[in-house]
Chain A
C-alpha cells in the first residue's frame, strides 16, 4: 500500500506511504465505510491543484523578472504586470488551500493535548475540521455571489481591463474542492477516533505542526 501519491518520485514530505504500525492494508474495516479510496482521489486532486497553482506562481516569478529586465534595459516593462501578480496570487493561494488541509499542514496547538491519546486527539480534530468545513463552505458560497456581483457590474482591472470575475472562477472551484476536502478530513478524523490509529489514505500521518515557515 504505497498510496496513490502523485507528483513523481519526490512527492513532498507527506507523499510517502504511511509509516508506523498503521501501514497495514486498509481493508474496509468492520463497522463503517472505508474513507481511504475517497481520500486518495481527493489527495490526487489537491496535489494536482497545488502543482498547478505552483506553476502559476513560477510563471509570475518569470513574468515579473522579465518585466523588471524590460524596465531596466529598454524602459519597457510588461504593462499591467502587477495586476497579473494580483490575479495569479489569489488564484494560486486558493489552489494551495486543499493540499495544505489534506496533508494536515494547517498549524494547530499541540501542547495541551500531547498526552491525550490518539483517539481523543482525533475526536478533537474532527471538531476542528468540522468548523473548517463550515467556514470553507461559507466562503465558497459567498464567493459565487461575489463573482456574480462583479460580473453584473462588469468590473475590470485598471490597466489590462481584465474582468475581475475571471479570477473568481478558479477560486470558487478551489474553494469548493476545499470544502469537500475539509469534509473528508472530518470523516478521516472520526474514523481515526474510532479505530485509534492513523488512516492509511496514502498521505501519511502528518506532523500536526504544518510546514511552519518560521
Chain B
C-alpha cells in the first residue's frame, strides 16, 4: 500500500467512526494516531504524546479562542441585546416586516461583540420573538429571520471560526477580520432585502409597527455606544497594532465582562454560569484541535494532500469549477456536521488544492478569500435541515411554531446566501478591497 493510498484510506475509516457517533475529536485522534503508528511505528507517537498535548494547549496563538468565547458569554449577559434591537427597531419597525428587519440589525450589532452564531440567535431571540408575536408576525418569518440572523454572529468579526481558520492556514487574524467586514455587512443587507421581498409576497406575514420620531431614533442609537466602543477597541486595536489578537480578545472579554456587571446586572451565579459555558465550549474545541493536529501530522506524513493538490492543479480544469465543487461539498457536509469540525477536517485537504489554483490573486489574498467563502457556506449548514442548530434553538424558543414553518421561513434567507456566495466568487474584491485599502 503506497503512502498516498494510506492517506486516502484514512478518510472512509474516519467517516465510518463519525457515522457511529464517535465524538469528532476522539475519532480524529484515533485515526491520526493509528495512521502515525502505521507509517512510523509506535515510538514517535508515544514520545510526541509526552508533551505534545500540553504544548498545543499552551500555544499563545490558540489562547485567543477561550478569551473570545468568554467575551461572547459575557456579551450574552451584558443586557445590550434589547438596546441593539430597539435601536434598529425605531428605524425600521414602521415598515412592513420591519420588526424582523430590526432583528437582523440587532443580530449584526450583537455579532460585533460575539463570535458565535448560536449565542447570537438565542440572545436576540429572547428580545425579538415576543415583539414579533405582539405584532402578529407569521411564525415562519419570525423564526426564520432569527435563525438566519444568528449566522451574522460568526460572519461579523470577532469570529471564532475565522480565528481557527487563520491559525490553521497561518494567515493574519487582523486581515481575516477585515475581509469578513464587507461580506458581513452585505449579509445583513441581503437578509433585510429578503424580508422585504417576503412581506411583499405575503403582506399579512409582517404587519408594520408604529413610527418613531427622530429624537427617539437617535437617542436609541446612542444607547448602544458600549457595543460600538468595545468593537472599535478590539478590532481597531488589532488592526492598528496596539495589541496582538490574544490581547485584544482579553481586553474585549474584560470590557464586556465589566459591561455585564455594570449594565447587565451579572453577579456571582451569572459569572459562574458564564465560566462553565466557556469551559464546555473551549474543551469541545480544543479536543477537536488536538485531533486535527494528530490527523494533519499523519496526512503530512503520507504526503497525500500535496500530491492531490498537485494532481488537481495540473488537471487543467477551470479553477472556478473546482472551487464550486468544494463549496458544494461543504454545503452537503453541512447537512451532517457542525461547522467547526468541518473546517478542521477539510481545510488540510482543500486549502492546498485551492492554493494551487490560479485565480489571479496573490497567495495571501487567495487564502483570505477562500476562508471567507468557506465560512459562509459552512454557516449555511446551521440553517438547513436536518441538523440546522440555529433553527432548532429558535424553534424551541418560539414554542408553538411547527418545525416545517421555520424551515420554510429560512428559505428566503438561503436564497440570499446563495446570491452572496455567487457574488463573492465572481468578485473576490468584495472581501479583499478593505484588506487592500487598509494594509
Residues on A facing B (Cβ under 8 Å): 7-13, 15, 47, 50-51, 53-55, 57-58, 60-62, 64-65, 68, 72, 82, 85-87, 89-90, 92-97, 99-101, 103, 105-114, 121, 124-125, 127-128, 131-132, 135, 138-139, 142-143, 145-146, 149-150, 167-168, 171, 209-214
Contacts and interface: CB of A to CB of B under 8 A. Distances in A.
Q: Is the interface of B mostly helix, strand, loop or mixed?
A: helix
Contacts of B224: none
A90 B339 contact: no
B160 A107 contact: no
A128 B58 contact: no
Please report whether the interface of chain A is mostly helix, strand, loop or mixed according to DSSP: helix
A213 B58 contact: no
Contact of A65 (B161, B250, B382): B250
Interface stretch (B99-107, B114-122, B205-213): B114-122
Contacts of B242: 68, 72
B247 A68 contact: yes
Interface stretch (B277-285, B300-308, B405-413): B277-285
A-B complex: 3 closest residue pairs judged by Cβ atoms: A54-B275, A146-B50, A90-B58
A111 B154 contact: no
Contacts of A167: 54, 58
Contacts of A107: 23-25, 284, 288, 338, 340-341
B60 A86 contact: yes
- The size bracket of the interface on B is 35 or more
Contact of A89 (B58, B118, B268, B274): B58
A214 B160 contact: yes
Interface in B340-386: 340-341, 378-379, 382, 386
Contact of B280 (A8, A64, A103): A103
B269 interface: yes
Given A106-B287, A149-B50, A58 B23 contact: no
B301 to A, nearest CB: 19
B57 A209 contact: no
A7 B274 CA distance: 11
A60 B277 contact: no
Contacts of A60: 63, 67, 250
Given A57-B275, A68-B251, A211-B281, A143 B54 contact: yes
Contact of A209 (B50, B53, B282, B338): B338
A205 B389 CA distance: 17
A100 B276 CA distance: 9
B63 A213 contact: no
B118 A214 contact: yes
A150 B55 CA distance: 12
B18 A108 contact: yes
Interface string B1-41: 00000000000000000111111111101100100000000
A96 B21 contact: no
B118 A55 contact: no
A85 B60 contact: yes
B50 A61 contact: no
Contact of B50 (A58, A94, A132, A145): A145
A9 B20 CA distance: 36
Contacts of A114: 386
A188 to B, nearest CB: 14
Contact of B49 (A72, A108, A142): A142
B377 to A, nearest CB: 13
B422 to A, nearest CB: 23
Contacts of B378: 214
B46 interface: yes
A15 B277 CA distance: 11
B336 interface: yes
5 contacts: A8-B268, A54-B279, A99-B280, A107-B25, A211-B284
B277 A89 contact: no
